[in-house]
Amino acid sequence: MDLDKITKDVCELAVSAGKFLKEETGKLKESDIEVKSANNYVTYVDKKSEAMLVEGLSKILPGTGFIAEENPALPTRDLNWIIDPLDGTTNFIHGVPIFCISIALMEGKEVISAVVLEINSGELFYTRKDAPAYLNGKIIHVSESGKIGDCLFATGFPYYDYSRLDAYLNLFRYFMVYSRGVRRLGSAAADLAYVACGRFDGFYEYGLSPWDVAAGALLVKNAGGMISDFSGNDNFLFGKEIIATNGTVYESFMKTFCENFVYEL
């Protein structure tokens, strides 16, 4: 399996689907928006983008399975694509120009190729197993910040699971006071890509799905960062929670996290 060629082909497919998304920006009517659950929306744009990706990826690697936002399913084959056709749907609906296409290829339980395209900036992030992470052809690295006080963090707000909200707000408050700040872009794929290229020093969020984090997590890892779940283990892909930081601040971040993100199940 030629992962270099596969990743290159996926990049080209993402750019093609991205053109469709950009063309549809600003065209939505209220009647085009479907409510999947509380604060969770889908549009014809998400569905069309996913169809384009599934068709294209099936040609790149015939016989692969799919784990996709609009058609979620557990892995059924040795090779599975994990795709989010529009990560940041709420941003897209409201005309906020941060939303992505996220595509990852998983072999067994390991993600081996990853592509994230931020539609509006045209920034294409990509990597594969045992390779550097790239942004538009240039190798990227995580930041070198080693102190919480020197760091800028990113997070996401839970939109259906509020069981840990008090703990989340307590951690948010800590970082507001003792770091350079916390940003919320509305796209986990963008957050992780920005950690990979050093714009953010760390990212944390819960209530996530595999298609939100699969590609971005490999980008961070191959750019020199650290990835874990909230317990410091590796159940971040299907465990609905993730921490991603540069390699230097990870231990300090985890200590701070454990001290301030305290809740009862």
Per-block mean pLDDT, blocks of 10 residues, the chain (265 long):
96 97 80 59 81 96 87 72 94 93 96 98 97 98 97 90 89 96 97 98 95 97 98 95 97 96 74
Measured distance CA(66)–CA(57) in Å, rounded: 9
Of 93, 92, 86, 91, nearest to 30 (Cα)? 93
Of 142, 34, 141, 165, nearest to 90 (Cα)? 34
Of 265, 246, 218, 252, nearest to 102 (Cα)? 218
Per-residue pLDDT, 181: 96
Using the Cα atoms of residue 132, residue 133, residue 135 and residue 141 in order, give the sign of their dihedral: negative
Q: How many helices (H) and strands (E) does the chain have?
A: 7, 14
Per-residue pLDDT, 254: 97
**Cβ pair 124, 15 in contact under 8 A:** yes
Q: What are phi and psi of 104, to 5 degrees?
A: -135, 145
Of 36, 44, 28, nearest to 93 (Cα)? 28
Burial (CB count within 10 angstroms: exposed 0-12, middle 13-18, buried 19+), residue 107: middle
Per-residue pLDDT, 107: 96
Measured distance CA(213)–CA(34) in Å, rounded: 23
The domains of the chain, with CATH numbers, are 3-140 (3.30.540.10), 148-260 (3.40.190.80)
Could you tell me the two tokens for 58? 């099936």
Measured distance CA(120)–CA(220) in Å, rounded: 21
Measured distance CA(40)–CA(216) in Å, rounded: 21
Give the CA count within 13 Å in the CB-facing half-sphere of 45.
27
Residue entry with tokens 């384009």: 52
Burial (CB count within 10 angstroms: exposed 0-12, middle 13-18, buried 19+), residue 37: exposed
Measured distance CA(146)–CA(202) in Å, rounded: 11
